[in-house]
Structure 1
Amino acid sequence: MLRALALVFVLNLFLFAEQNFILLNEGILPQKTVNKINEIGNEVFKKTGVRIYLAAVKEMKGKKIDAFEKSLSSKLQDPYILLTLSVKEHKVDIINSPSLSKRFDKEEILSPLPWKGTIIPILTSHMKNPDAAVEAALLNGYAEIADQIAKSYGVNLKSSIGSTNREIYYWLRVVFYSILALILLNFIYRRFVKK
């Protein structure tokens, strides 16, 4: 009886222990970002059973990103998602278990369009401080994957960073294009109507 209780206790420790979802971090992400990513990853795993991993390396040492990801994913347990970034090669990619293909939109997350993508637009827009850009891009991309997975399972994440940046960007676009439209209308009015 005592052995059975001890076994149940040990199994619970393993089941509910905090996991590390950062497979590789070659000094790219600071500890506070690593902590936030692990917090999000643990919550997603506890609520959905999906593991979202991240690998951030300075370089892949001659490997192509597909081969690099394949070597990392061979050790992962289904269902999983792996977000990979190589700084020197300027490569970012996401691979996943086949069962998760319909649960999140990889193309949207990796889109270079600022109003759609969450990783590449940030990487390309912060040339003054590339380290901060990489950190922000990985955190935003990871959080977007987590939000999409949670939504597909019908759960809410307390640790989510939300889509505030996307909403702000949307409203800035609306204001910008409205101002452009007003300037164009003013030009047309002065040029053609006033004569």
Structure 2
Amino acid sequence: MDVVIGVQQGLGPSYENAFTGKVTCSVLSNTPDGKGLVVTGCVEGVWVGFRHDSRSMRHVLHLKMVTQCAMLEDFGIFLVLADKFLFAYHIEALVPSSPSSSHSSQTPQKLSGNKDVYFFSVGTLHGRTLVIYMKKKGLDSIFHAVKPVVERINERAKAPQGLMGSRFGSRQAKSDWFRAYREFFLPSEVKIVILCAKGFEIMDLM
């Protein structure tokens, strides 16, 4: 679906300084002080604004080909999959609660190493929050499960390394906000057995 994100002025909509593009994902969240946020992913980046206030929408991440996003509110982390890279940002880096916030200039961290992450999902297992993302190795699907590390996430921001360091640049350090939990894979030839009212059915997933 193509939408226009911009500011309304006067009696009718104004498309000056507006962005028109395909919305690929969205998520609702809340600021630490309880304000409702809406985060929208587009092919040209990520927009953030307050709910019911279209004039507050801001283009906060200039990323290409955003396909998924998620909030880990308990950890203050925003996840986004862009151009097959999986990034983690402090929510405070996108919507600072104050100019003196320790995370307002935090560089993102890359969970996936090299690119080619096809999708990710967030869930809980035995009370533990996990992020699972899928990559390909040959014809096999490799699933990586990682868990947030609260102590690392809450550390104060470190200065970027080198002149090329950038808040939203490409020289992000390897993630230490997440720790490997488990890895598993599905071979290229996978069949599942489904129990039905009339017996069993075998389905080929290829």
Would the TM-score normalized by the shorter structure come out above 0.5?
no
Q: State TM-score, norm by structure 2.
A: 0.27
Q: State TM-score, norm by structure 1.
A: 0.28
> Which is bigger in relative contact order (C-alpha 8 A, separation at least 6)?
1
Which is richer in strand?
Answer: 2
